[in-house]
Structure 1
Amino acid sequence: MGWYRTGTATVTNNSATVTGVGTDWVEGAALGETFLGPDGQCYEITQILGATSMRISPNYKGSTAAAQAYAIMPTRGDLEELTAEAAKLIASYAAIRDGAGKGKFAAGTVAAPSLRGTADENTGLRFAGNDILQLITNGVVRLQIAADGTPSGVFVEKLPVSTATQTAINNLAAACVAIANVGSAPNELPSNQHLGELAFLDALGATSVTRHTRDSKPGDVWHEWVSNTQLIKKFHGFDNVIRTITETYA
């Protein structure tokens, strides 16, 4: 560390006070270091009063003089300087030590998540608070896991069917006979099959009921349900006329 010679010094005979002009003794000097006065004598710096004022010991022995060259000889050495710099580093690292160093991260925002990359600031993992965990890409929440473990978001909506589930679906489909047409083949629905009433839910969630119209042939006899106390009996005559009678039950 070099000697400090910035500015000039004014000294007074038999006085302990030294006044500077253009000096910064707060940064350039320290207690216990040596002040080399205009008289060529060495004095101990006993107090730094400010950037332009300090006290020495013993009192100045030379003649009173203004705006004189001077020098301050450092005695701290490299080790002391290193210690001071290390203290500054530790102080600046305290926030990291008490935060990320302990695995604790700020909540962040959607645009800047708690954990993110230096080259991709709007993508990462966010600890949003209230026991909520968010996965964010391009500044948008893609997956949110609530405190009870319930997932939500576009990530959940786009999840593929698992291999096991898809295998089960494929096995069920293979075991079923596909009915493609009406006819007499094994994979066709018989033309005279009466399916009765079919109930289903429409797109609005309302229950609808439809009735299959029987494709009968001469000689067929069947019943159609009207109510819990009434049936219609139908007969397809050989003259190709369908005749009906109503049966009422108590």
Structure 2
Amino acid sequence: MAWYRTGTVAVTNNSNVITGTGTSWVDAAAVGETFLGPDAQVYEITSIVSATSLRISPNYKGSTAAAQNYAVMPTQGYLRDLAAQAAALVSSYAAVRDGAGAGKFAAGAVTEPSLRGTADENTGLNIPGADILQLITNGVVRLQIAADGTPSGVFVEKLAVSAATQAAINNLAAATVALAALGADPDQVPVGQHLGRLAYLDALSILTVSRHARDSRPGDVWREHVSDTATTIKFHGFDGIIRSRTESWT
């Protein structure tokens, strides 16, 4: 390990205080290492006070002087560095072991999801809080699932349609709301019978009737509503021809 010589020092005869200029002793020196003074004598570093102040033993023997060259000689060398690196590795591994290594990830943000790629920091899977899961791309929540399973986000929102298309959808829905009731009244479909003509209510509750195009097969027989006093019986013959006759009711 190289000796540290950055900056200069001011020394005082019979004092243990060394003052540096342009030095960084907190990072570059350590207690127990050797201080080589401007007087060419060696001293033990007993304390690192700051980046520009340290203490030595014994007290400085040379003459008082400022702006002097010096050196810090690392007496512990590579062994100290290795120990420091091993301690840092153990500390960082503990965080990995108890977190990502155990499949546990800290709560993230939209710009930095909990689980993301190294080359794409704003895309991934995010756990922003208790019982919430988010799917994020480009820093935007595309899908969020709440604790009760309710989804939200642009992934489940309705795609935009033109005003004309939306108006056509609204008009169609208003004009063709099918009757839900089943029964024997003229405006209702008898239970268990082929639908024949379908009854609908428009938005103003005015009854309109539309013919049902029935998909019959050879051998089928069914009735269709004609009026309150008439029905039609139809038969799908095996020759492919549908024949009918009318029944009158009083």
State how far apart, in whole Å, the 2-side matches of 1:207 and 1:112 are. Answer: 57
Amino acid at match of 1:126: N
Shift of 1:12: 3.0
Q: Runs of 5+ in structure 1 lacking a partner?
A: 159-194, 213-221, 226-230, 234-244
State how far apart, in whole Å, the 2-side matches of 1:32 and 1:112 are. Answer: 44
8 Å CA contact 2:127–2:134 kept in 1: the answer is: yes
State how far apart, in whole Å, the 1-side matches of 2:198 and 2:22 are. Answer: 101
- Give the secondary structure class of the aligned counterpart of 2:127: strand
Bigger strand share: 1
Root mean square deviation of aligned Cα: 4.4
Distance 1:141 1:201, change over 3 A: farther
State how far apart, in whole Å, the 2-side matches of 1:80 and 1:232 are. Answer: 106
The answer to whether residue 21 in structure 2 is matched with residue 21 in structure 1 is yes
Deviations 1:55-91 (A, max 9, x none): 2212223333443332221112112123334445566
Distance 1:124 1:5, change over 3 A: closer
Of all paired residues, the percent bearing the same amino acid is: 66
State how far apart, in whole Å, the 2-side matches of 1:135 and 1:38 are. Answer: 64
8 Å CA contact 1:199–1:208 kept in 2: the answer is: yes
Deviations 1:3-39 (A, max 9, x none): 1222333333322223333333333322111122233
Deviations 1:173-219 (A, max 9, x none): xxxxxxxxxxxxxxxxxxxxxx87532466x696845276xxxxxxx
Deviations 1:130-176 (A, max 9, x none): 53334345666555444334556786799xxxxxxxxxxxxxxxxxx
Task: Give matches, 1:104-119, under 5 Å.
Answer: 104-109=105-110, 113-119=113-119
Amino acid at match of 2:46: T
State how far apart, in whole Å, the 2-side matches of 1:139 and 1:67 are. Answer: 54
- Give the secondary structure class of the aligned counterpart of 1:43: strand
Structure 2 equivalent of residue 219 of structure 1? none
Structure 2 equivalent of residue 210 of structure 1? 209
Task: Give matches, 1:29-48, under 5 Å.
Answer: 29-48=29-48
State how far apart, in whole Å, the 2-side matches of 1:52 and 1:232 are. Answer: 111
8 Å CA contact 1:124–1:135 kept in 2: the answer is: yes
Structure 1 equivalent of residue 239 of structure 2? none
Task: Give matches, 1:38-117, under 5 Å.
Answer: 38-88=38-88, 99-102=99-102, 103-109=104-110, 113-117=113-117
Query: What TM-score, normalized by structure 1, do the two folds share?
Result: 0.53
Query: What TM-score, normalized by structure 2, do the two folds share?
Result: 0.53
State how far apart, in whole Å, the 2-side matches of 1:73 and 1:200 are. Answer: 98
State how far apart, in whole Å, the 2-side matches of 1:138 and 1:130 are. Answer: 23
Structure 1 equivalent of residue 186 of structure 2? none
How many residue pairs match? The answer is: 185
Amino acid at match of 2:37: G
